[in-house]
Structure 1
Amino acid sequence: MLDRSNDVDRIALIEALNVMDPALGTALDPIAELTAFSFGVPIAWVSILDADHQHIISRVGLAIRRTDRHASICARALGSNTVMQVPDLRQDPRFADNPLVTGPEQLRFYAGAPLVTKAGVALGTLCIMDRAPRQLSAEEQLQLLTLSRVVVAQMELKMSLGRREQISGLPNRHQFQADLNALSRHADTRAFTGVVLDVFDLQSANDAGQALGMKPVETLLRQAALRVQDVLRDLAQVYHIGVTRFAFLLADHSHEQTEALLDRLRIRMRRPLMAGSIPMSPQFHAGVCDFLPVPGQTGDLVRKCLVAMHHAIQTDNCLCWYSQERDDALRRRYRLASDAGRGLAQHQFSLVYQPRFDLITGLPVSAEALLRWTHPLLGPVSPGEFIPVLERTALMPAISRWVIDHALAQAAQWQKRVPGFSLSLNLSPRDFDDQRVWNVLSERLHAHGLAPGLIEIEITEGQWLNHHPAALPQLRAIAAAGVRIAIDDFGSGYSNFGYLSEVPISHIKIDQTLVTGLARSRTARLKVEAIIKLARQLGYRTVAEGVENDAELSLLRLWGCDEAQGYHLARPMHPDAVLHLVSACRAGPLPDAG
């Protein structure tokens, strides 16, 4: 009966050490050859035993590569602390019927030394075999044991290559995941907590590298690694899993104990570190996640810790615990990003149009094209959810081209019934990554027979223009052709009239966060009135977004706002409804919008 008590540890280590890699067998071949030569035997091999098989990963004088474990002589040597030798296999009832003894090889002698790792787990054996009986002396047995230790050292050395972070010398991300996988194979019932730390802003580290060279930055990272290790000494193995990121595991720690430990670590890490002669202040953001040592949880731990850590960075907290709700939202955003291309091809996107009204005449003068997405599984997805997601992908320009083409085609249809009714289109900062955006717009205007003056392009306010040097020339070309340019959501962020002088705009759209509730907020009234007056003095027309009642409309008229848009006036609607509304308004008094 073979001893299988250490199979779980053995199989986990076999995976962690990657001993089935052919490159390891090649590296061990010289040791197998030396062993055969030293003992004057025709056969020597290195074997690894898993739950069911013996794998011969390096060999001299024997062609076989694998045997069943129950037929393995080496399996008997696993539980030995010294060399197991059988002077004559034919005379030993345990092995007399073994195929290597009765078959063509006709083997008679066996000696095997267990391959025992530093953790005390025997993975297999280094063995020698002969076709004649013999007996090893005590000195020869010691020599075989020494060679077995050389084999183990070579295995561990091979494993460590690619598993250590060169800067800190700590185990890296690959080793962290390998150790997590090994942990999941133990019958460990303890609860564990995974922690991922970010100790430096990566951009600051890159800036320091450019200014000082990489050597001082590497020294800084080594200092950070030493601090983490010093606080966690005797508590946890520290892993260096990213340029500025470290990870470790805690066993049987409550949330209070974990947070107390991280607070001590934070205090230690926040002390200045020297990069060259410059003191730098490390940051400290931790993502923390509880888990059980089972494959379904260890395989996903790093990702979950990163979800929590990035939330800590975004909220500028020292630590955040993993949240399933936040993770679900993140995965939903990723799904939207990955499904958008298919959605465009399968006609899941559509356009609705929200009219804009002149506040002097009361007539609808234009409509803003608004994108809608009906996902086949998620149903209608709010543009407030999917537009920010798509703006971070390379698909956004293709979406915008689709909107331009379909919206201009609709505008051309309107001109046949309500001539002069104009169209407003939204362009994303990503659209200006493509330096052909004006060419695309110009081509579609020509194709649909539309005058440029019937079209308005809305861009969001903000500093993005400073980071898109190609945007301003294209905006100037668009404006020079007669297309109007509007700044959307003005007042919600950057709100700087100074930079508007560089952009050829004609309209300012006041953000709905200022307009909605205007009648109830003195601060909002002061801001909106000031924006309208200054815009008029600078020659811009103003459009109020998000108008929800008569009180807001009256104030806007009083201050001289030119146009308004909002649910109080008209909700987003299908093209035929827009046509009906415009025709009805042009034919008579504006219906009661209330």
Structure 2
Amino acid sequence: MLDRSQDLERIALIEALNVMDPALGRSLDPVTELAAFTFGTAIALISIVDADSQRFISRVGLALERTDRHHSICSCALQSSGILQIEDLRQDPRFHDNPIVAGPEQMRFYAGAPLVTRNGIALGTLCLMDRTPRVLTADEQRQLQTLARIVVNQMELKMSLGRREPISGLPNRQQFQADLSVLGRQDGGNQFTGVLLDVFDLQSANDAGQALGLKPVESLLRQASLRVQEVLTDDVQVYHVASTRFAFVVRNHDHAQVEALMQRLRERMRRPLMVGSIPMSPQFHAGLCDFRADPDEAGDLVRKCMVALNHALQTDACLCWYSADRDAHLRRRYRLASDAARGLAQDQFSLVYQPRYDLRDGQPVSAEALLRWTHPMLGPITPGEFIPVLECTALMPALSQWVIEHAFAQAARWQQLLPGFTLSINLSPRDFDNANLWTGMAERLQANGLVPSQIEVEITEGQWLHSHPAALPQLRAMAAAGVRIAIDDFGSGYSNFGYLSEVPISHIKVDQSLVTGLARSRTARLKVEAIIRLAQQLGYRTVAEGVEHESELSLLRLWDCNEAQGYYLARPMSADAVTQLVLACRAGPPSDMDSD
């Protein structure tokens, strides 16, 4: 009787080899037919014994496709070092009551050769059965064992197809995942560390491929794979799991040992490699994750290593260990992306509005429409969290259209109550992928009785304008019609006045990261004053975002900043609250900030 660990290992290997695939059974039918013909038996079977049953993946002379494992004669043959041969099953007390013996099939003779893989695991048998007692000669037994080896070779060959990376010759990601499954069955509870390496920048590899052709790049990857194998011990299998990525597993190492191994590997990998006649330095980034070899942890290893590796790439670190907190953050981002479409359909999104003030007279002159999301399970989600996520999805344009429709309707209501009060909306780079963006906006303006000058469009600064060729013509069409164009978050990143001449902007919004705490930072004061002065000379109006203190407001007024927005002046609020605020300001005395 096989012990439990051996049986689990065998069942895992059956899954990894995918021996239940009907295509494999069909490819083995000629061997089964040859066995029946060679030995002159009524029945020949290739039998695989799994967790609860015996399945005949190839058979001659028997209609049954499977039997209960409890009634399987082949289960006994699995434990045999050679052929299990039973001259007369009726005379054997183990099998005389077996359904295939006592039932309609009336089997008498059995001979089974275990199907033993290269790692010594028996998956099943190649067996012969007949309705009359008989005995195989020694030569016949050797022939049956030869046919059994052919069956195993065919299984392993079938499995290896599509399981090796042709460039390096190493097992690929599919084989890595299959071997992890076997590991989980075989060594459950033992501690391992999974490693995912990125050895060459993919863009550099693509550039080299365009310049030199694919053969030199393939040579580079083969050299890299050899270096990884040279550093690791013989019992560590290396896998080529993606274009420039390799993976392996080490056993029973603490973090210090693993990191020492990674340092040796890095030193070896960082030496220049020749691509054509050009020496190139491979990069080295690694994601590492501890795991126990149970099926659940092993099955999720590749994903966790990717989480760690991507963090190493983002931070340009040599290696990063898996972080459950980082993983949870990424999963939350993915959940937001997947739940957003449902949220839009179920009215989970809403708009609030933050007033913007003219610094000459202290009056609120416009409001920025800000999107809010109340998730039914996660509660309120801040725009700083969900907007960057949705900007990477195909849903962002639909969400922007929703904002345009609802914000323009509100702007129309304000024109009745607050003449001259304007509205600004934010558009994402993804919105400009729609060639009909401005056409649709113009239709909504007309439908709501608005004129373009009552609307301002805010776009973020940056290089994205050059990668969206449709953006500039649409922005120019908007500006020509009278829509005001504002550059949002200026000073937070790219911040180049040179490219502004290409964009028909009217306003520059100084980013809140520079404005908040302005009075306490000499560097911030120099930057903000310089931005405001230069913007004025170029003919742009300036708006300061993130004003939270009177001291910041005083400096902005000193530098002749045109408008300001921030919590010190007004927090985001409902449309009705904006209406009441503006009416009160227009009816009342000058605001306190204009009295000094």
On whether the aligned pair clears a TM of 0.5, the verdict is yes
Taking a change above 3 Å as real, the CA distance of residues 115 and 235 of structure 1, as seen in their structure-2 partners, is closer
Taking a change above 3 Å as real, the CA distance of residues 4 and 337 of structure 1, as seen in their structure-2 partners, is closer
> Aligned partners of 2:348 and 2:593: how far apart in 1?
32
Residue range with higher mean Cα deviation, 92-101 or 483-492: 92-101
Residue range with higher mean Cα deviation, 525-534 or 393-402: 525-534
Q: Cα offset for 1:96?
A: 2.8
- Unpaired segments ≥5 residues, structure 2: none
Are the aligned partners of 1:43 and 1:60 in contact in 2 as well (CA < 8 Å)? yes
Which residue does the alignment assign to 1:290? Answer: 290
Q: Cα offset for 1:586?
A: 1.4
Q: Given residue 48 of structure 1, which amino acid in structure 2 is its aligned partner? A: I
SS in 1 for 2:502: coil
Q: Cα offset for 1:593?
A: 6.1
SS in 1 for 2:146: helix
> Aligned partners of 1:572 and 1:15: how far apart in 2?
57
Task: Report Cα offsets for 1:219-253 as digits up to 9, x if no partner.
Answer: 21111111111111324111111111111111111
Are the aligned partners of 2:544 and 2:563 in contact in 1 as well (CA < 8 Å)? yes
Are the aligned partners of 2:6 and 2:186 in contact in 1 as well (CA < 8 Å)? no
Which residue does the alignment assign to 2:507? Answer: 507
> Aligned partners of 2:274 and 2:443: how far apart in 1?
57
Residue range with higher mean Cα deviation, 560-569 or 70-79: 70-79
Q: Cα offset for 1:179?
A: 1.4
Task: Report Cα offsets for 1:433-453 as digits up to 9, x if no partner.
Answer: 111110111011001000111
Q: Cα offset for 1:210?
A: 2.3
Taking a change above 3 Å as real, the CA distance of residues 5 and 369 of structure 1, as seen in their structure-2 partners, is closer
Which residue does the alignment assign to 2:405? Answer: 405
Residue range with higher mean Cα deviation, 43-52 or 141-150: 43-52
Q: Given residue 395 of structure 1, which amino acid in structure 2 is its aligned partner? A: L
> Aligned partners of 2:546 and 2:2: how far apart in 1?
78
Q: Cα offset for 1:42?
A: 2.4
Which residue does the alignment assign to 2:552? Answer: 552
Q: Given residue 487 of structure 1, which amino acid in structure 2 is its aligned partner? A: I
Percent identity of equivalent pairs: 75
Which residue does the alignment assign to 1:66? Answer: 66
> Aligned partners of 2:320 and 2:200: how far apart in 1?
17
> Aligned partners of 1:529 and 1:5: how far apart in 2?
73
Matches within 5 A, 1:147-546: 147-546=147-546
Q: Given residue 386 of structure 2, which amino acid in structure 1 is its aligned partner? A: F
Are the aligned partners of 2:189 and 2:294 in contact in 1 as well (CA < 8 Å)? no
Are the aligned partners of 2:372 and 2:382 in contact in 1 as well (CA < 8 Å)? yes
Task: Report Cα offsets for 1:460-500 as digits up to 9, x if no partner.
Answer: 11111011011000000000000010111111111111100
SS in 1 for 2:445: helix
Q: Does 1:133 align with 2:153?
A: no
Are the aligned partners of 1:568 and 1:593 in contact in 2 as well (CA < 8 Å)? no
SS in 2 for 1:357: strand
Are the aligned partners of 1:2 and 1:76 in contact in 2 as well (CA < 8 Å)? no
TM-score, scaled to structure 1: 0.97
> Aligned partners of 1:148 and 1:334: how far apart in 2?
49
SS in 2 for 1:501: helix
> Aligned partners of 1:409 and 1:48: how far apart in 2?
69
Q: Given residue 312 of structure 2, which amino acid in structure 1 is its aligned partner? A: A
> Aligned partners of 1:405 and 1:380: how far apart in 2?
22
> Aligned partners of 1:456 and 1:504: how far apart in 2?
12
Q: Given residue 324 of structure 2, which amino acid in structure 1 is its aligned partner? A: Q
Q: Does 1:124 align with 2:124?
A: yes
Q: Cα offset for 1:414?
A: 0.8
Q: Cα offset for 1:276?
A: 2.3
- Unpaired segments ≥5 residues, structure 1: none
Q: Given residue 348 of structure 1, which amino acid in structure 2 is its aligned partner? A: Q
Are the aligned partners of 2:83 and 2:141 in contact in 1 as well (CA < 8 Å)? yes
> Aligned partners of 1:504 and 1:2: how far apart in 2?
79
Which residue does the alignment assign to 1:87? Answer: 87
> Aligned partners of 2:374 and 2:104: how far apart in 1?
71
> Aligned partners of 2:190 and 2:225: how far apart in 1?
27
> Aligned partners of 2:57 and 2:443: how far apart in 1?
66
Residue range with higher mean Cα deviation, 98-107 or 220-229: 98-107
TM-score, scaled to structure 2: 0.97
CA RMSD of aligned residues (A): 1.5
Taking a change above 3 Å as real, the CA distance of residues 51 and 546 of structure 1, as seen in their structure-2 partners, is closer
> Aligned partners of 2:99 and 2:362: how far apart in 1?
99
> Aligned partners of 1:368 and 1:521: how far apart in 2?
27
Taking a change above 3 Å as real, the CA distance of residues 576 and 283 of structure 1, as seen in their structure-2 partners, is same
Are the aligned partners of 2:358 and 2:564 in contact in 1 as well (CA < 8 Å)? yes
Q: Cα offset for 1:534?
A: 1.0
Residue range with higher mean Cα deviation, 95-104 or 449-458: 95-104
Q: Cα offset for 1:561?
A: 1.0
> Aligned partners of 2:4 and 2:302: how far apart in 1?
32
Matches within 5 A, 1:94-105: 94-105=94-105
> Aligned partners of 1:467 and 1:4: how far apart in 2?
60
* Matched length: 594
Taking a change above 3 Å as real, the CA distance of residues 74 and 81 of structure 1, as seen in their structure-2 partners, is same
Task: Report Cα offsets for 1:363-410 as digits up to 9, x if no partner.
Answer: 111111111111111111111111111111111111111111111111
SS in 2 for 1:230: helix
Task: Report Cα offsets for 1:287-325 as digits up to 9, x if no partner.
Answer: 111111112211211111100110000011011011111
Q: Given residue 432 of structure 2, which amino acid in structure 1 is its aligned partner? A: F
> Aligned partners of 1:371 and 1:568: how far apart in 2?
20
SS in 2 for 1:105: coil
Taking a change above 3 Å as real, the CA distance of residues 100 and 377 of structure 1, as seen in their structure-2 partners, is closer
Task: Report Cα offsets for 1:100-124 as digits up to 9, x if no partner.
Answer: 3333333322211111111111111
SS in 2 for 1:327: helix
Q: Cα offset for 1:4?
A: 6.4
Q: Cα offset for 1:2?
A: 7.5
SS in 2 for 1:222: helix
Are the aligned partners of 2:463 and 2:494 in contact in 1 as well (CA < 8 Å)? yes
